[in-house]
């Protein structure tokens, strides 16, 4: 297993134990980077207007489009470290 993958998995675990809950914009950034790192580019259909949470998550993931898994993992790690 690569060092980056190990650090990413540690950051995912650390994200569940932050001292305080991040604001919604930061939570969406965390979500988008996680999805990009684990699933790649967003190919899902955009949720309808009635699903505001789903649309926000879709938008956050879609903003990461084009980043490699390694780039997304590193950005995720950096973001979680900045919140600790």
Q: pLDDT tens for residues 20-41?
A: 999 999 999 999 999 999 999 9
Give residues with Cβ within 8 angstroms of 36, minimum separation 6.
42, 61, 64, 65, 67, 69, 72
CATH class of 3-83: mainly alpha
pLDDT of residue 2: 76
Q: Which pLDDT band, with edges at 50, 70 and 90, does 1 fall under?
A: low
Residue extents of the structural domains in the chain: 3-83
pTM passes above 0.85: yes
Q: pLDDT tens for residues 54-76?
A: 999 999 999 999 999 999 999 99
pLDDT of residue 84: 86
């Amino acid at each position: 297993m690569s060092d980056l993958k190990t650090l990413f998995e540690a950051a995912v675990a650390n994200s569940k134990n932050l001292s305080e809950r991040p604001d919604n914009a930061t939570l969406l950034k965390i979500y988008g980077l996680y999805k990009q790192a684990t699933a790649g580019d967003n190919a899902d259909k955009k949720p309808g207007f009635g699903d505001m949470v789903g649309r926000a998550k879709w938008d956050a993931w879609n903003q990461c489009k084009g980043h490699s898994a390694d780039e997304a993992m590193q950005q995720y790690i950096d973001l979680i470290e900045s919140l600790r």
